[in-house]
Structures are given as structure tokens and as C-alpha cells.
A and B are shown apart, each in its own frame.
Chain A
Amino acid sequence: MKKKNSVFLIITIPAFLLFVIFHSFPALQGIFYSFTDWKGYGDWNFVGLKNYLNVFKDERAGDAYLFTFKFAIVATILVNIISLLVAIGLNSKIKFHKTLRAIYFLPYILSILIVGFIFNFIFAHFLPQIGDVFGWEFLTRNILGNPDLAWIGIVIVAVWQAVSFNTILYLAGLVTISEDLYEAASIDGAGVWTKFWKITFPLIAPFFTINMVLSLKNFLMVFDQIVALTGGGPGKSTESISLLIYRGGFEGGEFAYQSANAVIYFIVIIVFSVIQLKFLNKREVEN
């Protein structure tokens, strides 16, 4: 038994150490530097909570948080509605079942950055052309060039991509529901709507919870889509928190300041996830 123990330790201790070195240590360093005025090079001094206070006073950071929340909440709601509908469709008796499933899952395997570049072209050239041909005024201008509308373009691309993964998760839940339940409900005279709210939705509630939490968490970290579509513009209207930390930290010499921003960002993500889990779990139990 003694020998067995040492083998397990030989396996886990290197993994533990590597994880500490490349994950926890940088995280702690980030927290440490957030209390200094380090630029990423040269000398530094402790400045206490100054960086944190400044993040709260910083209009650019405030705008980045507002944009990221707005984007993440809208995208999360849309992705979950659409993927639930698609999953229900794919789970019903349809033709070309396998092909359709394969197509709906396709975006998951594609690089978000490249998909973003392709959509960038669609917004800039294809949609305006359609607008011209049909005389639809609202389509003739590139929405990514409009500070008030650019975020919608990013939502569209993010949703286009994320629906694939969420559909697969919902489908995994739906296939476990027995057909008999629906038949029994039909005999009792339940309509489509009643069946959905009384059978389908309660039974896939755990999948709904996971999907909501994961989507929101992923969308709060939005980066690739923005780099590919707007680069944070026009102006700073679509600058997400990740992009701001990246830019300020690597290009703007704001290492310590953006570290403070990253810590705040981390706390925000945790708080959001916990609130969501609490709220959604409570609802699950009631069902």
C-alpha cells in the first residue's frame, strides 16, 4: 500500500506544481501588482487601492463594462432562446435529421476570429449591396461603422457561433425525455404550449441552468469577435473588458492599473455566476 501511495504522489505533485507556477502564481502576481504602480518595466511602488479607485472613476473602463454587460446579457438570452428552439426542432420527427444536426453544429468547429472577419465583410459590403438593390435604407450603411449599432453586429456573430454548442447541450437533455410522457399528455388534451411548459422545460431545467451560466461567462470574456469585427470601435463604443485589459496592459504601459481592472473583472464574473446559479437552481427545485 505504501508503494501505491508514492506512485500517486509522483503523478500528482508535478501536476500540482506546474499548475501553481503557470496559473496560480501569475494570478497572485496580478493581484499583487494591482496594488502598485508598475508599468510592466522599471521600478515600482506600492500605491494601495489607488488603481482600484481610479478604475471606478475611469470613463473608458466604465464604458467597457457597460458595453460588455449589455452585449453579454442580450447574447445570452438570444443564444438560449434560439438554441432551445433549434434543439426541439432537431429532436422532433424530421427528415435529413443527421445532415441538419451536422450543419447546426458546424460553427462550433470554426475559428471565431476568422468567422468574425467573414462577417465583417458581410456587414461592410454584402448587406449594403442588398440594401441598395431592394432600396432598404437601413441596410445601406455598415452597422459596424455606427457607434450606436456596432454592438448589434457583434451580438449577431457571437450568437451565430454560440448557438451550435448550446444546441448540442439542449439536445443532450431532450433525448433523455421519454416519448410516453408526451403521449400521455396528448391523451389528456394538452396542447403544444402546455407540453413545453409542463414537460419539456422542467425536465431540461438543469441544462438550461448550465447553458445560461456558461454562455454569460463566455460572453463576458468576449475578445476574438471584437478584434475581428470592430477592433473596439468606432471610437471606443465596442471595447470589451478583455480588450481593454489587453490593450492597456500590453500597449498602454498600464500593467498595474489593468491588473486592478482584471481583479475587479474576475470578481464581477464570479458574482454574476453565483447569483445566476442560486436563482436558477431555486427555480429548478420549485419545478
Chain B
Amino acid sequence: MNRKKTSWLVTTLLILGSLLILFPLYLTITIAFKTPPEMAGNLLALPKSWSFDNFTQAIEMTNFFNAFKNSAFVTVFVVIFTVLTNSLVSYAIARNLHKKFYKFLYFYFLSAMFIPFPIIMLPLVKQTSAWGMDNLVGLIILYIVFNLSFNVFIYIGYIRAIPVELEEAAIMDGATTWGVFWKVIFPLLAPMNATVAIITSLGAWNDFMLPLVLLSDREMATLPLVQYIFQGQFSTDYNLAFASYLMALAPMIIVYIFAQKWIISGVMKGSIK
């Protein structure tokens, strides 16, 4: 099949290009370990001694573990509930698309994808703070609801390819609709669930705008939000700032190193649908 020879020219070009991606990360890591006097010298040089002082100081100043806990809390619950509820709603719509109400729901959810966040931002923040939802739980609920638009779209495409006969057989054996979904459909959705879980967790972990406008209590700040507040206060100490950035980026990078195969194919599947 692959009779073509390896193209070294293309390989070289791609390696050179990849340096453009790796370089900012190299800079982040080395600066995070440097001391302020070292910044006066060559920025490309490696740190003279690898000290963790910047990290311990950054942890204290940004209350890192608290922010990490907040981000992890939000991401975990958003992913779990998004996968469970959005797949269920998509199933109910997918199997009833011939009915007017469900067809309306389908297009209703889809159309929301085109509404820019700023148009709902101002009233939404008023409303959620009036209801005492300007906290992490409110954030979780909003993510789960907002995710519905995109997820209905990708789940329904997948569910419609699953033969209805499978469900009919289960119903003959006495299963309820509820049972059919959890025992037959949900396991079959595994690849889509993984895709949705990956895209949702990236979205929740990295999001900046919704925490920025919604959260009023600083104790609840998520990792990106902490970087923003911190940047405003200590913008001159780059070593400290970079240690903080690195710690905020590291969890995702570590997960990515181990799971990049699934993450890439998951995102690919989600975007082709």
C-alpha cells in the first residue's frame, strides 16, 4: 500500500514548525525555575540551579491548591453529569424525531449554538446572582445546560445509526425504556461518551469568561481565573508568574502525554459529526 518513500523534506519542515509550538513551553519551564537576577542574562539559557522556590511562593500567593480543587470539582461534576444527562436527552429526542415536539427541541437546542455568549451574559449574571447561583454549583449547572447544544448534535448523529431492533429485543425481554437506555444504548454510546467527556473537560477546565463574570467570591476562583487575578497584582515578578502558569498548565499536559491518542481521536470524532 505505502509504496511512497519517506519524505525527509516534509519531516524536517514539520519538525521545524513544531519548535514554534514547543518553544513557548520551553521558555515557560525554564523561566519558572530561574531567579530574578538570571532574567537579566540570556533568556534562552537554562537555569543555573533548578530551584523550586518560585513554585512554593506561587502556591502560597495564588492559593494554588484551592484553585486546583475548585477547577477539579467543577470539571469532574460537569463531565459526569454532562455525559449522563446529555446522552439521555439526546436519546429521547433521537428516537422521537418524527414527532413535532422533539423535532422542535432538536432545532431549538441546535440554534443556540449560534448565539454568542455576550448576548446572554449580562442578564444571565443578574439572574444567577439573584438566585444565589454565583458559585461553583451554579457554574456546574450552567456548563451542563450550555453543553446540551453541541452534544445533542453529536449524540443524535450517532444514536440514529444504532438499529432500533436492538431495543425492541430488549423490550420483548421485559425491559423498560429506562432499562433499555442504561443497559443497551448507554454502553453502545461509549465512543461518543468518551468524545463528549474529553471535549467537555477541556472546555470546563480552561474556560475563563464564565467564571470571570459569574463568580464573585475569590475563594471560588478556578485556575485560569486565579492566573488573571494574580497577574494584575504581581505583574513584575516573571519567575513567580511563570511558575504559576506552569502549575496551571501542567495537569492537562500530563494527562495529554498519557492519553493523547484517545484525546486526538475523541476530538476528531466529535468534530466530524
Contact = CB atoms under 8 A, between A and B. Distances in A.
**A, B bound:** yes
Interface of A: 3-4, 7-8, 11-12, 15-16, 18-19, 22-27, 29-30, 33, 40, 86, 89-90, 92-96, 98, 100-115, 117-119, 121-122, 125-126, 129, 160, 165, 168-169, 171-172, 179, 210, 217, 220-221, 223-224, 227-228, 241-242, 245-246, 249-250, 255, 258-259, 262-263, 265-266, 269-270, 273
A104 to B, nearest CB: 6
B253 A94 contact: no
A249 B14 contact: no
Majority-rule SS of A interface residues:
helix
A11 B238 contact: no
Contacts of B252: 109-111
B119 interface: yes
20 contacts: A4-B177, A16-B105, A18-B141, A19-B148, A26-B120, A27-B119, A101-B264, A103-B22, A107-B21, A108-B202, A108-B267, A111-B208, A111-B223, A210-B271, A223-B208, A228-B231, A242-B209, A259-B119, A262-B118, A262-B119
A105 B271 CA distance: 14
A112 B206 contact: yes
Contacts of A125: 43, 238
Interface in B1-57: 1-2, 4-8, 10-11, 13-15, 17-18, 20-22, 24, 27-28, 31, 42-43
B241 A86 contact: no
A168 B269 CA distance: 10
B43 A94 contact: no
A255 B105 CA distance: 31
A172 B270 CA distance: 11
Contacts of B206: 109-113
Interface string B95-121: 110000010010011001011111111
A141 to B, nearest CB: 17
B267 A168 contact: yes
B228 interface: yes
Contacts of A103: 18, 21-22
Contact of A111 (B231, B241, B249): B249
A279 B102 CA distance: 31
B54 to A, nearest CB: 14
A262 B122 contact: yes
Nearest to A94: B11
A171 B272 CA distance: 11
B7 A92 contact: yes
